[in-house]
Amino acid sequence: MLGAATKRNADALDDRKGRMAESRPASATSTEPTKVPGRRAKTIETRGVNLFYGDFHAVEEVTMTIEPNKVTALIGSSGCGKTTFLRSLNRMHELTPGARVQGEVTLDGEDIYDSRVDPVAVRRLIGMVFQQPNPFPTMSIYDNAAAGLNLNAKKVSKAHKDSVVERSLRGAHLWDEVKDRLDKPGGGLSGGQQQRLCIARAIAVEPEILLMDEPCSALDPVATLAVEDLIGELKSRYTIVVVTHNMQQAARASDVTAFFNLDATGKPGHLVEIGPTEEIFTNPNEKETEDYVSGRFG
Ligand SMILES: Nc1ncnc2c1ncn2[C@@H]1O[C@H](COP(=O)(O)OP(=O)(O)O)[C@@H](O)[C@H]1O
Ligand SMILES: [Mg+2]
């Protein structure tokens, strides 16, 4: 028996299918994203990941596989450790003073916490988009899109930079809106445009993974749909993990959903279950997942 909220989620699933079908070229019949030749998104595996802030145990024993060319949504009530877990996937967690990581995170089998691995290189391969769009406000749109390149490459030709900026802005569905004002400050764009500019900045360096922490929470509904569509398109090139507290967004925009919960305030958050989004929203294995997705708590 579907509750009203579960029904809404199911409608969001249908809505997503409808929109995806509309945006697909008539010739394409498969629901699989087109793979880009010569480039491969990577599988993330976590094993027994525990995350601490000093003595506080924030996330307990997360073991999951995050598949390439799919959007994986992390859902769960506020404070259950979604952001903390996300930040452990690109070694940002350890930037917080006193923060510690236990367990293993691998990218196609390579341990990102191996002592020989450079954390700066890991953060470069794994792009991050934050809750509040954070372009450099006084820097031009062009320089914002190229910002990662300036830091990462010793010498980049102007022609190469131009082509990367255009490709990234096109990839972020922003090019047509900004191509005539590339020299204007990034801070002058609307919120939704700023978030797409941040996505352009993240993809300019050709990351293997994109992590997004509630990327639409500061956006209006129209900008939200634009970013969700963009996320759906980017999965043909990347492994994407999106934190969202918006159930319908998870239903619309993700292929796989991981539900996190905590037993009581002050206790660590943990993974309850992970599975195809459709199953998590309509027929989850755990009672607590069903309670959450049907809006009974959280
Ligand atoms: N910098 C920090 N220092 C100490 N505790 C933190 C810090 N950031 C988050 N926490 C705590 O870790 C837990 C998980 O937080 P967070 O990952 O932000 O949850 P979510 O993103 O699911 O809302 C919460 O109890 C939060 O208060
Ligand atoms: Mg959070």
Whole-number Å distance between alpha carbons of 93 and 128: 12
Q: What is residue 150's predicted lDDT score, i.e. its pLDDT?
A: 67
Quickly state the pLDDT bin for 236 (edges 50, 70, 90): very high
Q: What is residue 4's predicted lDDT score, i.e. its pLDDT?
A: 57
Can you give the three-state secondary structure of 96-107, one letter per residue? CCCEEEEEEEEE
Extended strands (E) in the chain: 44-53, 56-66, 71-75, 99-107, 110-111, 126-129, 209-213, 239-243, 256-262, 269-276
Each residue of 76-93: pLDDT tens digit? 999 999 999 999 999 999
Quickly state the pLDDT bin for 10 (edges 50, 70, 90): low
Whole-number Å distance between alpha carbons of 87 and 22: 34
Q: What is residue 189's predicted lDDT score, i.e. its pLDDT?
A: 97
Kindly state the average pLDDT of the residues 44-70. 98
Extended strands (E) in 8-152: 44-53, 56-66, 71-75, 99-107, 110-111, 126-129
Each residue of 124-163: pLDDT tens digit? 889 999 999 999 999 999 999 999 886 655 677 889 999 9
The CATH T-level fold of domain 4-21+41-293 is: Rossmann fold (3.40.50)
pLDDT of residue 276 exceeding 70: yes
- 292 vs 38, which has greater pLDDT? 292
Q: Taking the domains of the chain in order of start, what are their residue ranges?
A: 4-21+41-293
Q: What is residue 9's predicted lDDT score, i.e. its pLDDT?
A: 62
Q: How far is CA 14 from CA 7, 18, 240, 241, in A?
A: 10, 6, 21, 21
Nearest to 123 by CA among 98, 147, 92: 92
Whole-number Å distance between alpha carbons of 125 and 121: 6
80 lines ligand 1 (CB under 6 A): yes
Ligand 1: residue of 49, 51, 52, 53 to mutate (most ligand atoms within 8 A of CB) is 53
Kindly state the average pLDDT of the residues 47-59. 98
Which residue is closest in CA terms to ligand 1's atom 2?
A: 53
Kindly state the average pLDDT of the residues 215-235. 90
- 185 vs 227, which has greater pLDDT? 185
Q: What φ, ψ does residue 103 adopt, rounded to 5°?
A: 105, -170
Q: What is residue 32's predicted lDDT score, i.e. its pLDDT?
A: 40
On whether the CB atoms of residues 75 and 53 are closer than 8 A, the answer is: no
Worst-scoring range by mean pLDDT, 15-24, 40-49, 60-69, 244-253? 15-24
Whole-number Å distance between alpha carbons of 292 and 130: 24
Which residue is closest in CA terms to ligand 1's atom 5?
A: 53
On whether the CB atoms of residues 239 and 209 are closer than 8 A, the answer is: yes
Q: What angle do CA 119, 122, 127 make, to 5 degrees?
A: 130
Each residue of 167-218: pLDDT tens digit? 999 999 999 999 999 999 999 999 999 999 999 999 998 888 999 999 998 8
Kindly state the average pLDDT of the residues 267-286. 97
The sign of the torsion formed by the CA atoms of 184, 190, 193, 198 equals: positive
58 lines ligand 1 (CB under 6 A): yes
Instruction: Note the pTM of the prediction, 2 decimals.
Output: 0.87
Kindly state the average pLDDT of the residues 86-102. 97
On whether the CB atoms of residues 211 and 241 are closer than 8 A, the answer is: yes
Q: What angle do CA 221, 197, 124 make, to 5 degrees?
A: 120
pLDDT of residue 298 exceeding 90: no
State the ligand closest to the CA atom of 59: 1
Kindly state the average pLDDT of the residues 40-67. 96
Instruction: Output the average pLDDT for the chain.
Output: 88
